[in-house]
């Protein structure tokens, strides 16, 4: 939607092929009847500066709700307020700064923090890489971790107060206003290139001819599209260099937010060593819904 809108603004005639029957991809808003509000089955938060997201939010007249509230920890059946202080953080930071050659995070931890006394540090860093980045520590770049944590930082976390749904609706309406032709259920299976033209074919037999094609599919789906020979190596390199991880997101709706009595009314996150280690509420909203998050290799 962002690419189509930008090109249409530049005077290009755009055909947008969407495999689903809705816009948004991994932004997926559930009907209010299911959870009592427009719950986010996919993307939910706005992380850090997110300049592009905030620019579009301003255009659409949407607002940001900054995350606050208290974090809690569940350990051996005991609930306690948690500030999530990373043990040996100063030493970890010094080793990160001193690192000259990139390593996978797991290898970096094994080399520099393999001693049993660093067990809590290894667990905390591994949990962050798997949970926040949905990455495999045996493959994730330590340099990337260093840039994320010590460069720009994770930044302010928030939610779109009105939800991601209105953001997608705004972009789709803007595309249509600019003359973008949108085709639903158009599952692309191949792209052929010949004589400075491309032909895009869909699973249902439809095909479209154009001067160029821009692929914005998620990386796991890129391999399912037959590409021209010249583009295959580029696609393979993109998949290998960028990488992707798995996530399981679970939404549970209750008759009341019972956890407020056991923790605090402003509990926002709950962390544990359980099979699903991360949970959050809709605070400051009081919807009786808990969201579970399991990411990375275990997902």
Contacts of 33 (CB under 8 A, 6+ apart): none
In angstroms, the CA 182 to CA 177 distance is 11
Question: What is the rounded (10 degree) CA torsion for 292, 274, 116, 125?
Answer: 0
Q: What is the pLDDT of residues 133-184, one digit of tens each?
A: 899 999 999 999 898 887 666 678 899 999 999 999 999 999 999 999 999 9
Q: Residues for the chain: how many in total?
A: 299
* pTM higher than the cut 0.85: yes
Contacts of 179 (CB under 8 A, 6+ apart): 8, 13, 14
pLDDT digit string (tens) for the chain, length 299 residues? 999 999 999 999 999 999 999 999 999 999 999 999 999 999 999 998 899 999 999 999 999 999 999 999 998 889 999 766 788 989 999 999 999 999 999 999 999 999 999 999 999 999 999 998 899 999 999 999 898 887 666 678 899 999 999 999 999 999 999 999 999 999 999 999 988 899 999 999 999 999 999 999 988 888 899 999 888 888 888 888 888 889 999 999 999 999 999 999 999 999 999 999 999 999 999 999 999 999 999 99
11: left (phi > 0), else alpha (psi -120 to 50), else beta? Answer: left
Relative orientation angle of helices 105-112 and 119-131, to the nearest 10 degrees: 170
């Amino acid at each position: 939607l962002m690419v189509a809108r930008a090109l249409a603004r530049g005077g290009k005639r755009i055909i947008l092929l969407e495999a689903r029957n809705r816009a948004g991809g991994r932004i997926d808003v559930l009907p209010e009847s299911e959870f009592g509000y427009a719950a986010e089955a996919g993307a939910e938060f706005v992380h850090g500066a997110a300049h592009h997201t905030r620019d579009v939010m301003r255009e659409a007249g949407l607002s940001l709700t900054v995350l606050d509230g208290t974090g809690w920890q569940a350990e051996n059946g005991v609930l306690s307020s948690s500030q999530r202080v990373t043990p040996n953080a100063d030493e970890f930071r010094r080793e990160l700064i001193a690192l000259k050659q990139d390593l996978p995070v797991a290898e970096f931890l094994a080399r520099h923090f393999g001693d049993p006394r660093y067990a809590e540090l290894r667990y905390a860093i591994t949990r962050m890489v798997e949970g926040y980045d949905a990455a495999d520590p045996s493959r994730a770049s330590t340099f990337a971790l260093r840039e994320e944590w010590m460069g720009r930082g994770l930044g302010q976390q928030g939610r779109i107060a009105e939800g991601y749904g209105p953001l997608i609706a705004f972009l789709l309406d803007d595309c249509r206003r600019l003359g973008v032709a949108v085709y639903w259920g158009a599952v692309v299976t191949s792209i052929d290139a010949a004589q400075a033209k491309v032909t895009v074919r869909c699973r249902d037999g439809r095909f479209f001819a154009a001067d160029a094609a821009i692929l914005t599919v998620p990386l796991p789906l890129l391999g399912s599209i037959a590409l021209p020979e010249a583009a295959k190596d580029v696609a393979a390199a993109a998949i290998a260099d960028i990488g992707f991880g798995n996530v399981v997101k679970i939404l549970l709706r209750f008759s009341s937010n019972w956890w407020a009595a056991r923790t605090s009314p402003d509990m926002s996150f709950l962390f544990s060593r359980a099979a699903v280690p991360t949970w959050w509420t809709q605070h400051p909203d009081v919807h009786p819904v808990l969201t579970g998050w399991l990411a990375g290799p275990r997902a």
